[in-house]
Amino acid sequence: MTLQPKVRDDLAVVELDGEAVVFDERTCDLHYLNPTATVVFGLCDGTGTVDELAADIADAYAADADQVRRDVAAVVEDFGRSGFLVDANA
């Protein structure tokens, strides 16, 4: 994926013990992120593509690159559907 996902700056985020809660004031929705989604969320700063994010995560955790790429792409798609991304066309 060539998309460089960037989360919206106006989301309120609280992280604790590797997990996060995201509050979207526009919709008044509260979202719980598991540890994996929290890592991806933190990397979605608009500077890397989904493939680059996945490669960084796979390297850091010595995980299967293909599986990580599929997982990261799915999480970014979920972020897009949830309205977290500046460019919600994830």
pLDDT bucket at 3, cuts 50 / 70 / 90: confident
Write out pLDDT tens, residues 57-68. Answer: 999 999 999 999
pLDDT tier at 1, thresholds 50, 70, 90:
low
Cα–Cα distance between 69 and 66 in angstroms, integer? 5
* Dihedral of the alpha carbons of 30, 79, 72, 34, in degrees to the nearest 10: 0
Cβ atoms of 51 and 1 closer than 8 Å: yes
In whole angstroms, what is the distance from residue 90 CA to residue 88 CA? 5
pLDDT of residue 2: 74
Q: What is the pLDDT of residues 6-30, one digit of tens each?
A: 999 999 999 999 999 999 999 999 9
Q: Could you give the domains of the chain?
A: 12-82 (1.10.10.1150)
Residue 87 has what pLDDT? 67
Task: Calculate what percentage of the chain has a pLDDT beyond 90.
Answer: 92
Mean predicted lDDT score pLDDT of the chain: 93
